[in-house]
Amino acid sequence: MKIISYNVNGIRAAIKKGFLDWLTAASPDVICIQETKAHKEQLDLTLFEEAGYPYHYWFSAQKKGYSSVAILCKQKPNHIEYGTGIESMDFEGRNLRVDFDEVSIMSLYLPSGTNLGRLNFKLNYMDEFQEYINNLKEEIPNLVVCGDYNICHEEIDIHNPKMKGVSGFLPEERTWIGDFIYSGFVDSFRHLNKDVQQFSWWSYRANARANNKGWRLDYAMVSQPLEDKISRAYILPEAKHSDHCPIAVELDI
């Protein structure tokens, strides 16, 4: 099973940049999309079906043009879970899950902490999400939680490790993602690429992408019962429909 995760920074803008042709060529079994910035009634859904994804699910923020996640599938899931049931998290459309026989896959868009108010929201979200996942793993042990975590875990994951005072690389954020992994997950990319420095997000400023001054903010976290099933995990920087690029994990299931 090939799973891709991609923060598209606006699905309508990404489509104009060739996203659907790229999707057809990449041909994942499941693609988790973050920051669609759209409600499904604003989209021509037949475009996704024509690209080979007859099963598509959308969980949007109450505010139009903001946040929102989606999952596109080639095969029909057994169940779709919209949100977490936690109101303080769900109004921004940040979590969507599809359940198959052998694995459940979540598209996650963790908040950024660009100012103090949003940082506090992010930290609270992180705490609530960890508790939610702890409970979910009891019910569904085979989980892949992929998406934009808006956090670099280690110094190798950021082009300038001196940026310790910036949200996304704050000590408390790095501790949280380390604890999240310790709670029963495998960072699939780092699991198979111990010393490789690759990024999944670049600022639009200062020609950052051309100079590869990036951050690895996107992860496919695989629950420990599936660790031995991870066959490949990689980043796709050649896809340029967004300020992020896609990441992928392949599981032998």
Share of the chain above pLDDT 90, in %: 98
C-alpha count within 13 angstroms, C-beta hemisphere, residue 44? 8
Query: Which of 90, 148, 179, 228 is flagged as catalytic?
Result: 148
Going by C-alpha positions, the residue among 5, 63, 70, 3 that lies closest to residue 36 is 70
Asked if the model's pLDDT at residue 29 lies above 90, the reply is yes
**R_g over Cα of the chain:** 17
Annotated catalytic residue 148 = yes
Residue 107: how many other CB atoms lie within 10 Å:
29
Return the CATH architecture of domain 2-251: 4-Layer Sandwich (3.60)
- Return the sign of the alpha-carbon dihedral for residues 225, 83, 246, 154: negative
Torsion of CA 118, 124, 130, 135, to 10 degrees: -130
The first and second tokens of residue 169, run together, are: 């690389």
pLDDT tens digits for range 66-124: 999 999 999 999 999 999 999 989 999 999 999 999 999 999 999 999 888 999 999 99
Residue 159 is given by DSSP the state S
Percent helix / strand / coil, the chain, rounded to 5: 30, 25, 40
Under the banding of pLDDT at 50, 70 and 90, the label for residue 129 is very high
At 116 the pLDDT is 86
SS3 call for 226: helix
Residue 32: how many other CB atoms lie within 10 Å:
32
pLDDT tens digits for range 163-180: 999 999 999 999 999 999
At 88 the pLDDT is 87
At 220 the pLDDT is 99
Going by C-alpha positions, the residue among 125, 149, 123, 146 that lies closest to residue 217 is 149
At 115 the pLDDT is 87
Q: Could you tell me the residue ranges of all domains in the chain? A: 2-251
